[in-house]
């Protein structure tokens, strides 16, 4: 079911207010049970427009629900995408204020920084690799605006796929020197290893996940601009964090990145 434009804007404003006021809200489909995926992306686009109007600069995109277990849990067979603003970016090693977050969780990811603009519909991993400037390890902090992190597919798309913060490693590595599928990643919390994984956990190949993003954008008449940061999807399960925690992600041959929580 599509919604009329004023309802789309109401939904986007409600999600924006929840993020700004750091409070949970009921999922959109409680009020609009027939909400479809295309209209959910209309709400996400509206949210993006509201943030841009408030001065946020869009710096990239993210893929979500890229692992088989998470897709099975949601009963879906396609990943989802969201946008990244400069207000989501955190410096490597910086302190993140948990008072500004509802129920934060972190994921280990590989981030791509694009040298060239990519457009679909027939993008593939080879084109992504050719258009990539470099990759770095990343931590994505997700923070659903919905009660108890409970949502369905249209609701989480509207909520910008739970995007909240991210940090990138500071040592750029060319993809020419890497096998992204076998690239191993370790996540430590407070000095203990809590998650391990390899790039292939992301839809079989993180570069393939970026290609899928480009093709999904093309279906909505959009491109992935040169200079974009792309979080390609979680390699590990999401781990809850709280004030006092330190999280570090190490990627084989690509360095480390970290976030501290106050």
Q: Does 156 bind ligand 0L1 (CB under 6 A)?
A: yes
Cα 87 from Cα 81, distance rounded (Å): 18
Cα 50 from Cα 31, distance rounded (Å): 21
Q: Residue 3's binding partner, choosing from Mg ion, ligand 0L1, none, with beta-carbon cut-off 5 to 8 A by kind?
A: none
Residues 207/180, Cβ–Cβ less than 8 Å: yes
Site for ligand 0L1 in 18-77 (CB under 6 A): 64-65
Taking every pair of C-alpha atoms in the chain, what is the biggest distance, in angstroms?
Answer: 50
Q: Judged by CB under 6 A, which of 155, 161, 232, 236 binds ligand 0L1?
A: 161
Q: Does 155 bind ligand 0L1 (CB under 6 A)?
A: no
Q: Does 140 bind Mg ion (CB under 5 A)?
A: yes
Q: Does 214 bind ligand 0L1 (CB under 6 A)?
A: no
Q: Does 159 bind Mg ion (CB under 5 A)?
A: no
Cα 238 from Cα 86, distance rounded (Å): 22
Q: HSE, CB side, 13 Å, CA atoms: give it for residue 79.
A: 28
Helices (H), the chain: 5-21, 28-31, 37-53, 68-74, 125-131, 153-158, 206-219
**Which CB sits closer to ligand 0L1, 43 or 127?**
43
- Smallest distance, Å, CB 187 to ligand 0L1? 14
Task: Tell me the window of 18-26, 93-101, 138-146, 169-177 that interacts with Mg ion (CB under 5 A).
Answer: 138-146
Task: Tell me the window of 131-139, 154-162, 185-193, 210-218 that interacts with ligand 0L1 (CB under 6 A).
Answer: 154-162
β-partners of residue 184 are: 198
The count of residues interacting with ligand 0L1 (CB under 6 A) is 11
Q: Residue 156's binding partner, choosing from ligand 0L1, Mg ion, none, with beta-carbon cut-off 5 to 8 A by kind?
A: ligand 0L1
Q: Residue 39's binding partner, choosing from Mg ion, ligand 0L1, none, with beta-carbon cut-off 5 to 8 A by kind?
A: none
Task: Tell me the window of 10-18, 25-33, 34-42, 139-147 that interacts with ligand 0L1 (CB under 6 A).
Answer: 139-147
Does residue 202 sit in helix, strand or coil? coil
- Nearest Cα residue to 54 out of 6, 101, 12, 7: 12
Q: Does 144 bind ligand 0L1 (CB under 6 A)?
A: yes
Residues 206/136, Cβ–Cβ less than 8 Å: no
Cα 206 from Cα 204, distance rounded (Å): 7
Distance in Å from the first CA to the final CA of the chain? 42
Site for ligand 0L1 in 103-132 (CB under 6 A): 107
Does residue 73 sit in helix, strand or coil? helix
Residues within the interface to ligand 0L1 (CB under 6 A): 64-65, 107, 140, 142, 144, 156, 161-162, 234, 238
Q: Which residues bind Mg ion (CB under 5 A)?
A: 107, 140, 234
């Amino acid at each position: 079911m599509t919604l009329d434009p004023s309802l789309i804007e109401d939904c986007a404003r409600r999600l924006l207010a929840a993020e700004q006021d750091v409070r949970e809200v009921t999922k959109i489909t409680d009020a609009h049970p027939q909400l479809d995926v295309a209209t959910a992306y209309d709400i996400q686009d509206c949210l993006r427009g509201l943030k841009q109007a408030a001065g946020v600069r869009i710096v990239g995109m993210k893929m979500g629900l890229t692992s088989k277990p998470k897709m099975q849990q949601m009963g879906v067979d396609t990943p989802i995408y969201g946008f990244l603003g400069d207000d989501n970016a955190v410096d490597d090693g910086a302190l993140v204020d948990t008072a500004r977050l509802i129920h934060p969780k972190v994921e280990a990811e590989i981030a791509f920084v694009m040298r060239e603009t990519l457009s679909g519909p027939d993008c593939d991993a080879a084109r992504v690799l050719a258009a990539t400037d470099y990759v770095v390890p990343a931590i994505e902090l997700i923070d659903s605006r919905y009660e108890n992190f409970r949502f369905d597919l249209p609701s989480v798309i509207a909520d910008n796929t739970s995007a909240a913060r991210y940090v990138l490693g500071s040592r750029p590595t060319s993809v020419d020197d890497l096998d992204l599928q076998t690239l191993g990643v370790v996540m430590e919390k407070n000095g203990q290893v809590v998650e391990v994984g390899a790039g292939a956990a992301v839809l079989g190949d993180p570069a393939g996940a970026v290609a899928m993003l480009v093709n999904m954008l093309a279906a909505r008449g959009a491109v992935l601009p040169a200079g974009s940061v792309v979080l390609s999807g979680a390699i590990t399960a999401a781990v809850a964090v709280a004030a006092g925690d330190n999280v570090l992600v190490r990627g084989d041959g690509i360095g480390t990145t970290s976030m501290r929580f106050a």
